[in-house]
């Protein structure tokens, strides 16, 4: 079986992690996989390091429609069984060529398409309807949570379009990470083994709820000493968040370290992992923390309740109850037995249910079913 994964190539979030985790495992299962991208970036560089074949058909601007004909010709020339799209740009192009190629075109929905461009009103008004138009034209859609599948059906999509495949990561190989002391030195953060460090790794845009994280951090910093906070990630709101921290006088307690490549060292360094998003699918930020056995506090949005069992493998909170979020964090800060128990329980659940091998096997089964259905 020959499958082409089509993605813009400029991705840096969960879709990037998903594809670069999935493709090597699919190859181990005997699926011939390649990538098609319309730009170069960190994504394509990392793909090549993994020895994944990368094809580039450059789209200089988002409105450059000359690539559509080139992509159609490329796909038909190479006789793929399936073209698997990821993201709004790939979906949009696929909508125009779906009936003109021999391969079956499918897509994975990694996020709520209505919130993908939440930070910019102009982009939201333009690209959300375009992506909706494109999604309607796919015969099959994979979602990374049951919640997203149900959301799409409520929005008028047909039930028989969908397959659910949870995200997964490698639990077989121990991840590389530097020591806590090295990590804190690298990012110019004071390290005190008697202090607790609460961290969040996320893009700095509105949907990730960094404002919520900061309000919680301000509340705790105003109550007790001995707890510091680390925000890993970059984005349009970086300077605003940094100014908020300075204005509240907590620059020595709340640290913004920007984008980091060595994510495992970040999770090794923190004591509590958090996610305060207003919308999520099935976030790798929580799975990566689970692999490091970190106790977790997360908003219970999207597919997160399918990942975390509240009170057993972590705490789920409302994004609008800052007092409750603060209290849940303090519970873990002050109760080491509870924190360790949550970390181990989440690790065991994630290893059993959300591994990269399980994700790849599910994809292969779906591909086989789709190919068989379309041979009739």
Per-residue confidence (pLDDT) for residue 297, from 0 to 100: 98
Per-residue pLDDT of the chain (376 residues), as tens digits, is: 999 999 999 877 889 999 999 999 999 999 999 999 999 999 999 999 999 999 999 998 877 888 999 999 999 999 999 999 999 999 999 999 988 899 999 999 998 888 876 667 777 777 788 888 999 999 999 999 999 999 999 999 999 899 999 999 999 998 999 999 999 999 999 999 999 999 999 999 889 999 999 999 999 999 999 999 999 999 989 999 999 999 999 999 999 999 998 999 999 999 999 999 999 999 999 999 999 999 999 999 999 999 999 999 999 999 999 999 999 999 999 999 999 999 999 999 999 999 999 999 999 999 999 999 998 6
Query: Do the beta carbons of residue 143 and residue 109 sit within 8 Å?
Result: yes
Name the one residue in this structure whose structure tokens are 């958090």.
Answer: 274
Per-residue confidence (pLDDT) for residue 187, from 0 to 100: 95
Tell me the helix, strand and coil percentages in the chain, rounded to 5: 45, 15, 35
| DSSP SS3 for 201 | strand
Where do the domains of the chain lie? 2-168+356-373, 180-353
What is the CATH class of 180-353? Answer: alpha beta
Pairing of strands 140-143, 162-164: parallel
CA neighbours within 13 Å on the CB side: how many for 48? 10
How far, in Å, CA of 20 to CA of 42, rounded? 11
| DSSP SS3 for 172 | coil
How far, in Å, CA of 282 to CA of 317, rounded? 16
**DSSP letter string, 89-120:** HHHHHHHHHGGGSSSEEEEEE-S-TTTTTTT-
Q: Output the six-digit token pair for 187.
A: 């990012």
Name the one residue in this structure whose structure tokens are 């601007």.
Answer: 61
How far, in Å, CA of 60 to CA of 64, rounded? 7
Query: Do the beta carbons of residue 55 and residue 75 sit within 8 Å?
Result: no
Pairing of strands 315-317, 296-299: parallel
Q: Which phi and psi (to 5°) does residue 37 adopt?
A: -130, 155
Per-residue confidence (pLDDT) for residue 265, from 0 to 100: 97
Per-residue confidence (pLDDT) for residue 238, from 0 to 100: 95
How far, in Å, CA of 343 to CA of 271, rounded? 10
Query: Could you tell me the CA-to-CA distances from 141 to 84, 137, 149, 248 in Å, in that order?
Result: 10, 10, 9, 45
Give the architecture-level CATH label for domain 2-168+356-373.
3-Layer(aba) Sandwich (3.40)
Per-residue confidence (pLDDT) for residue 206, from 0 to 100: 87
What pTM does this model have?
0.91
b/e map of 130-157 (b: 16 or more CB within 10 Å)? ebbebbeebebbbbbbebbbebbeeeeb
Per-residue confidence (pLDDT) for residue 119, from 0 to 100: 66
Question: How far is C-alpha 190 from the geometric centre of its chain's CA atoms?
Answer: 29
CA neighbours within 13 Å on the CB side: how many for 78? 19
Per-residue confidence (pLDDT) for residue 124, from 0 to 100: 72
Compute how many other C-beta atoms are within 10 angstroms of the C-beta atom of residue 86: 23
Compute how many other C-beta atoms are within 10 angstroms of the C-beta atom of residue 276: 23
How far, in Å, CA of 123 to CA of 257, rounded? 28
| DSSP SS3 for 69 | helix
How far, in Å, CA of 129 to CA of 90, rounded? 15
How far, in Å, CA of 106 to CA of 103, rounded? 10
Per-residue confidence (pLDDT) for residue 69, from 0 to 100: 94
Query: In CATH terms, are 2-168+356-373 and 180-353 the same topology?
Result: yes
């Amino acid at each position: 079986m020959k499958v082409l994964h089509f993605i813009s190539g400029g991705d840096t979030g969960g879709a990037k992690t998903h594809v670069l985790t999935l493709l090597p495992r699919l190859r181990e299962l005997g699926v011939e996989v390649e990538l098609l991208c319309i730009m170069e970036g960190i994504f394509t560089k990392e793909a090549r390091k993994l020895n994944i074949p990368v094809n580039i058909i450059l789209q200089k601007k988002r409105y450059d429609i000359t690539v559509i004909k080139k992509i159609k010709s490329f796909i038909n020339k190479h006789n793929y069984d399936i073209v698997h799209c990821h993201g709004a740009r790939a979906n949009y192009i696929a909508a125009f060529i779906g009936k003109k190629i021999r391969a079956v075109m499918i897509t994975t929905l990694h996020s709520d398409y209505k919130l993908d461009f939440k930070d910019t009103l102009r982009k939201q008004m333009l690209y959300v309807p375009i992506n909706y138009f494109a999604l309607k034209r796919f015969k099959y859609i994979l979602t990374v949570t049951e919640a997203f599948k149900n959301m799409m059906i409520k929005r008028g999509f047909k039930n028989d379009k969908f397959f659910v495949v949870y995200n997964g990561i490698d639990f077989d190989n121990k991840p590389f990470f530097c020591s806590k002391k090295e990590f804190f030195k690298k990012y110019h953060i004071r390290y005190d083994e008697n202090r607790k460090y609460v961290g969040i790794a996320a893009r700095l845009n509105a949907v990730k709820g960094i404002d919520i994280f900061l309000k919680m951090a301000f509340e705790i910093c105003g109550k007790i000493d001995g707890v510091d906070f680390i925000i890993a990630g970059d984005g349009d709101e970086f300077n605003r968040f940094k100014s908020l921290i300075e204005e509240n006088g907590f620059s020595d307690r709340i640290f913004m370290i920007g984008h980091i490549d060595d994510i495992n060292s970040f999770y090794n360094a923190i004591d509590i992992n958090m996610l305060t998003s207003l919308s999520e699918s099935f976030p790798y930020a929580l799975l990566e923390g689970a692999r490091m056995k970190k106790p977790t506090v997360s908003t219970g949005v999207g597919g997160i309740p399918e990942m975390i069992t509240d009170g057993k493998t972590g705490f789920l909170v409302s994004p609008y109850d800052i007092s409750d979020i603060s209290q849940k964090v303090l519970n873990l800060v002050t109760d080491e037995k509870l924190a360790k128990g949550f970390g181990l329980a989440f690790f065991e659940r994630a290893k059993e249910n959300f591994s990269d091998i399980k994700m790849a096997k599910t994809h292969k089964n779906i591909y086989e079913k789709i190919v068989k259905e379309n041979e009739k």
